[in-house]
Structure 1
Amino acid sequence: MISGGGEGRGGERRWVLIPEPKSMREGRGALLLPVIGRINESRAVGDERYVFAGQLVDDIRAATGLEWDIVTGDRWPGCITLTVDGGEGTSCGETTSGGDSAAPSPGGLDARASGAYTLDITKDGVTVRGADFEGVRNGVQTLRQLIRQCGAALPRLHIEDQPAFETRGYYLDVTRGRVPTLDWLKTWADKLCLYKYNQLQLYVEHTFAFDGMSETWRGSSPLTPRDILEFDDYCAERGLELVPSVSTFGHLYMALRTQSLRDLGEFPESADEPFGFIDRMRHHTLNISDDRAFDLSCRLIDDYLQLFRSDKFNICADETFDLGKGRSKPLAERIGVAAMYADYVTRLCRHLETQGKKPMMWGDITLEHPEILKRLPETVTLLNWQYDPQVTDEKIRTVARSGATQIVCPAVWCWNALLPRIDDAWNNITRMARYGTQYGAQGMLVTDWGDLGHVNDPRMAIPGMIIGAQESWNPGRIPDETDMFRRISRLEYHDVDGGLVSVLADADRDVRFGWGDLVTWLETGGAPSVAEGSAGGGPGAADAALRDRMIRIAPMLARTGACGATGIAAAGAVILLALEGQRLLERVGRHVALAAGTTAGETRGGGIPVPSDMDPDRLAGELERWMEAYAAQWRTVSRESELRRIEAVVWRTADRLRRGVWRV
């Protein structure tokens, strides 16, 4: 484990850094921060509001109770100096390579590379020196992590560090049921900054208040232009590029159900079908043989891009399942679906280029029809998403051989579930990082989706997000998931023993009937597979196993104080609530298994046994009480948005239990 700052339990160091630096040498002893101190941040950094110095002041206050000042210029020495190569600023003493600091170890690093930095902590003070604005930002985040763990006694060391990928992005779904509050978005941006991400995209279908499109976004608690302007500024100040992302081709479910726009879809006759979480994911593609479709796509692009400072724009264009199958079928029969797709996205890309923007798009359709690769504009960046935990390098290699620019896109694996699938996230992210490095990808974009109503609380994605931070900065450095989980537990959750994330990962292994299974049962009438899990096959085994996880996790959370805190630190309460919700779902699953033909004491297709003493009325009441607690947590980070749809699923389940539909 990367080390320093004194020994912890079992000889293990008492602090960790994520991402782990490329090169670090430790000196002897520690630097004791002064009671009355200053942070000198050079104007050359380009941090006009001194956000980075302010981050350090806040963390020093939180860790030590000390109140520090912020200064700039060469006449105001500070114990901590933030500067760029060639920038002014002095500290308590010479700190760049002090005698008691370990000697620099270049190791092939390029100190001039964007995002690169050095961090020196000597007996005289601290210096963060960046190659540029982003480099200073990155060095400050490393120092913040040390302060949070070591307080006023910082280990003496010398770090030289730079990222593996130019782009280290996070992609957050804000459209499939959950629209975050602006405060939460800012909190999440702070968290991404701490872990050295430098790009953020928000996935939007219908949850932005476009002029003249209220029929599309009504009832969704949409983001507004003012929200975007304020959030764009907030991100930029923290070294995050907020890139606009809007569905402009496929995934236009809500828009194509309206009276105003339904005629632009491939299947307008389906517009009046009842809402369904599953149906929302399946199709709803523009009929691009109608000229009005291109006008709509350009309108979405033109209205949205003016609110962002980024020179990039993600047109999405993924999963256009209906293309050429409905109203545009005659065109498909004439020129082919691949040509239709290539022509349309090329037109959108050219439209962006005329406005000085660099187009981005998902790569799934292009990889289904590789001939499209030859027809795309050279300026486009393909977002190559592959979510299989055992993903191979085939599709990354295909794009690389074509010469197209690509960003590899793994996932935090939280969708359709109350509990995160952290093992899957680890396997998926580490593989994609390795392939991205191998084939020269421009970067990595870690995706966080909310399929089927976005029941997954965004705070449950923190372990996956941190894995993505490590792998996009220094891929392959952490030997295994056990080591990574321990590091996350200690740094993020302040769990000294380092076991919290591993227990949370174990909890998902106990799941045999989850949110996705329940929605599938209710919306399609089909009996989902209720697979036997690691908990064994006895009645209520998964329920009992999850209860055991809660018993193990609760003391960990009590030690960290996470349960009683506010904001992002409230992850403890969220974890316990998710575990309790999953326990209830397991009990519902036993009723579903019975309804699907399982009798008491028997199993169906290797599924779970159904006991004869279950009380559906009691379970219905427990579900309803849990839903109230869940709704309260939802509102701490999200707008009302589509919470009602989550509630409807739970109420419908409770009603069916009480009506005796699932009675034993």
Structure 2
Amino acid sequence: MSDQATLKGWTIIPTPQTVQHKAGVSLLPMCGRVNEPRAFGDERQVLATQLADDIHAVTGLEWDIATGDRWPGFITLTTLDDLDARPSGAYTLDIAKDGVAVRGADFEGVRNGVQTLRQLIRQCGAALPCLHIEDQPAFETRGYYLDVTRGRVPTLDWLKTWADKLCLYKYNQLQLYVEHTFAFDGMSETWRGSSPLTPRDILEFDDYCAERGIELVPSVSTFGHLYMALRTQSLRDLGEFPETADEPFGFIDRMRHHTLNISDDRAFDLSTKLIDDYLQLFRSDKFNICADETFDLGKGRSKPLAERIGVAAMYADYVTRLCRHLETQGKKPMMWGDIALEHPEILKRLPETVTLLNWQYDPQVDDGKIRTVAESGARQIVCPAVWCWNALLPRIDDAWNNITRMARYGTQYQAEGMLVTDWGDLGHVNDPRMAIPGMIIGAQEAWNPGRIPNEADMLSRISRLEYHDASGELLDILARASHAACFQWNHLITWLELDDGQDGVNTGVLQTIQGLLPENERPDDVIRALQDESQTPSLAESRRMLLRYLKHHIALGETADHLLQTSARRIATIVAAAGSQATANAAALRMAIEGQRLLNQIGLRLASDVGAIDSMQSSAASQHDDTARLAEALEIWMEAYAAQWRTLSRDSELRRLQDMVWELTDYLRFQSA
């Protein structure tokens, strides 16, 4: 569709399989009606209401909705006659001068056709192009995976807003990643202070998603990633390393040490309690037990068992027990595939009912692991990422490369679907709106992979449709701005958490430094120093090593600042032309860009102070003033950031992010005193 649609100034995402353009324009009546039957399952007329609301938003016209053959509508929604010949989700859309018809193979098909029509109405108003579309998805499952645990718990209103957006782009599944942020009975010590989701939240959200054709699938950590639970007085004995439960909280530590000691029979009781309590709140027949990144398995309390039967057998036996437990309740188990792929013998031991969620986030990922699962005969869903974690600005280029490759491999090896992941490691500093470009790329590739020839074309389409940017340039500007992130949020967290809380070095954090850069960018001299086990460096030296390790990136900060400022100005101009619909996104984009400018300045200051890069050429008094101004600017930004946070999210772990910033600004002031 390059096509004529683009030349006419409108676009559809995901791109339909076939579009036949016809002569003329269909002018929507001033007093019109949407008619849909009750038969295909839209009991509350959500789809008809979506259309009426969009018509009102762009034309000011008030349309009626009705059901039944005595209330004809200019827009009619119905099911196709040849149902057996059409896969689930398929639809046709006919726009003619005398009316508009959406026909679907099932409820999902009608829903998908309505979303295509909504996109055209949003761009063309009351004057729609006459055309005929026949369309169907490449993947039956087109899911989104949203982290609601690692710092940010969204408000229910924002979750509904996100579900609406997923619906518009034809996603049909959503999973929320939960560790400790759900209010399980008897586990208040785990979820206290996290602003947890409640059973009522889930029930209401499950209904909301179902009405929009989205299956809300329960997902909860049942094996690994139980950091907060295993730090409690009540449950610490169930961890592989209970002796570490009283160590200070660390964002980085939370990502590394969190595994159940499954040689203790009580571990299975905890896992099944989480499963049994949670699954009752969902209408879905699926359940994701997660079971990923069990780094500590067999290394602590369960080491004797590992020495006897092996880590792979331990893992396979435990997840099989959990899957069988779900099967007895009529549920289809899902789990992340990383551990099974590290120990391929596990693949042969898994229950045949389990679906492996095969996550691969490398932008240059190859097909090796997807092929391995396919050859084993196991069911799989491919899982790329929107690439927003650990950063203020989204890495859109990485998201494009990762998602398009995974969609291609998923198609090649006949995966059951695609699940696009959206993580919030290290406090979820990334504003959820930063994930919109990656989410829409995922929608396109899950529906019609490979149809859009290049990233520039895709970003231009998203800019026009989602951001109301007539120039089509917005996301290209944002993608280029992300390249100017020289000192990033995860760099700052590493610098701060090298301190073990007693002016010593957190050796666990020290070991993570190498992973901050790709192998081809790692400076050999710093690598040798990090690998020298003859002595543990001091805190000051450890921080200096980190800054030396990153110096080639940090040193680009001044040049990058010009790019970020230019980007902010260009985006402001585009948003002003787009009107009030773009205001919320404008605030999020400006906040991210200004925050990254400050991070870059902080990196320059820290590296200069310890001689990791050439000292800034200024007097001591000037440096003192600059450092004080930098600390103040960061504190002001953090207050504005917190206000934006609360428009989308509960307080949850906002205070942890603030404490990190205050620790840094206190350090800056102390150093400049």
**TM-score > 0.5 by shorter chain:** yes
- Which SS does the other structure have where 1:44 is aligned? coil
Task: Give the distance between the partners of 1:247 and 1:300, measured in 2 at CA.
Answer: 8
* Offset at residue 72 of structure 1 (A): 1.2
Among residues 355, 359, 366, which one is paired with 2:329 in the alignment? 355
Question: Cα–Cα, structure 1 residues 268 and 303, in superposed 2: closer, same or farther, change >3 Å?
Answer: same
Deviation, structure 1 residue 2 = 3.9
Kept after mapping to 2: 8 A contact 1:61/1:67:
yes
Q: Normalising to structure 1: TM-score of the pair?
A: 0.92
Q: 2:450 aligns with which of 441, 454, 476?
A: 476
Partner of 1:170: 144
Q: After TM superposition, give the deviation of residue 562 of structure 1 in Å.
A: 4.9
Could you tell me whether the CA contact under 8 Å between 2:568 and 2:593 is conserved in 1? yes
The corresponding residue for 2:199 is: 225
Aligned to 1:259: 233
Alignment counterpart, residue 615 of structure 1, candidates 626, 633, 654 = 626
Structure 2 CA distance for partners of 1:572 and 1:539, relative to 1, 3 Å: closer
Q: Is the 8 A contact 2:486 2:600 kept in 1?
A: yes
1:578 maps onto 2:592 in alignment: yes
The structure-2 alpha-carbon separation of the partners of 1:596 and 1:367, relative to structure 1 and needing over 3 Å to count, comes to farther
User: 1:39·1:78 contact (CA, 8 Å) conserved in 2?
Assistant: yes
d(CA) in 2 for partners of 1:86, 1:14: 33
> 3-state DSSP class of the match of 2:255?
helix
Q: Distance in 2 between matches of 1:449 and 1:545?
A: 27
Selected match of 1:16 from 8, 11, 18 = 11
1:565-621 CA-partner distances (Å, limit 9, x unpaired) = 4xxxx1111001110000000000001212442354589xxxxxxx96871100000
1:102 corresponds in structure 2 to: none
Aligned counterparts of 1:531 and 1:166: Cα–Cα separation in 2: 46
- Normalised by the length of structure 2, the TM-score is 0.90
1:42 corresponds to which residue?
Answer: 37
Q: Which amino acid is 1:572 matched to? A: A
The aligned amino acid for 1:117 is Y
Cα distance in structure 1, aligned partners of 2:625 and 2:285: 58
Report the equivalent of 1:381. 355
In structure 1, the partner of 2:372 is: 398
What stretches of structure 1 move > 3 A for 4+ residues in a row?
A: 1-5, 536-539, 562-565, 599-603, 611-614
Q: Among residues 61, 64, 67, which one is paired with 2:62 in the alignment?
A: 67
Closer, same or farther: CA 143–539 of 1 in aligned 2, 3 Å: closer
Q: 2:559 aligns with which of 541, 548, 564?
A: 541
2:665 alignment partner AA:
A
Q: Give me the whole-angstrom Cα distance separating, in 2, the residues matched to 1:592 and 1:453.
A: 22
Cα distance change on mapping 1:304 and 1:631 into 2, 3 Å: same
Q: Does 1:592 align with 2:566?
A: no
2:162 to 188, 195, 205: 188
Code of the aligned partner of 1:241: E
For residue 105 of structure 1, what is the aligned residue in structure 2? none
Q: Cα 1:479–1:110, aligned 2, differ >3 Å: closer, same or farther?
A: farther
Give 1:288 shift: 0.2
Secondary structure at the counterpart of residue 24 of structure 2: strand
Partner amino acid for 1:337? V
The alpha carbon displacement at 1:564 in A equals: 6.7
- Assess if the C-alpha contact under 8 Å between 1:563 and 1:572 holds in 2: no
CA distance in 1: counterparts of 2:651 and 2:300, whole angstroms? 35
Give the alignment partner of residue 54 of structure 1, picking from 46, 49, 54: 49
Aligned length: 623
1:110 Cα deviation from its structure 2 partner: 8.5
Q: Distance in 1 between matches of 2:236 and 2:122?
A: 53
1: CA distance between counterparts of 2:185 and 2:667?
Answer: 41
Q: Which amino acid aligns with 2:88?
A: S
* Counterpart residue type for residue 122 of structure 1: A
Alignment of 1:486-505 (within 5 A): 486-505=460-479
Q: Which runs of 5+ in 2 are unaligned?
A: 499-541
- Taking only aligned residues, the RMSD between alpha carbons, in angstroms, comes to 1.8
CA positional deviation for 1:132: 0.2
Aligned equivalent of 2:652:
641
Q: Deviations over 1:465-499 (max 9, x none)?
A: 00000000000000000000000000000000100
Q: Judge conservation of contact 1:4–1:155 (CA < 8 Å) in 2.
A: no
Q: Percent identity?
A: 76
3-state SS of 1:615 partner: helix
**Among 530, 545, 548, which residue is 2:550 paired with?**
530
Is this contact kept in 2: 1:338–1:369, CA < 8 A? yes
Inter-partner Cα distance in structure 2 for 1:58 and 1:23: 27
For 1:231 and 1:538, locate their aligned partners in 2 and report how far apart those are by CA, in whole Å.
45
Unaligned 5+ runs, structure 1: 88-108, 604-610
Partner of 1:277: 251
Contact 1:562–1:573 (Cα < 8 Å) also in 2: no
Mapped partners of 1:538, 1:31: distance in 2: 54
8 A contact 1:110–1:162 mirrored in 2: no
Q: Aligned equivalents of 2:354 and 2:29: distance in 1?
A: 51
Contact 2:608 2:616 in 1 (8 A): no
Question: Take 1:241 and 1:623, find their aligned partners in 2: how far apart are those partners?
Answer: 41
Alpha-carbon distance between aligned partners in 1 of 2:556 and 2:204, rounded to the nearest angstrom? 53
Cα pair distance change 1:614/1:465, threshold 3 Å: farther
What's the CA shift for 1:538? 6.2
Q: Secondary structure at the match of 2:671?
A: coil
Distance in structure 2 (CA, Å) of the matches to 1:635 and 1:266: 36
Q: Secondary structure of the equivalent of 1:121?
A: strand
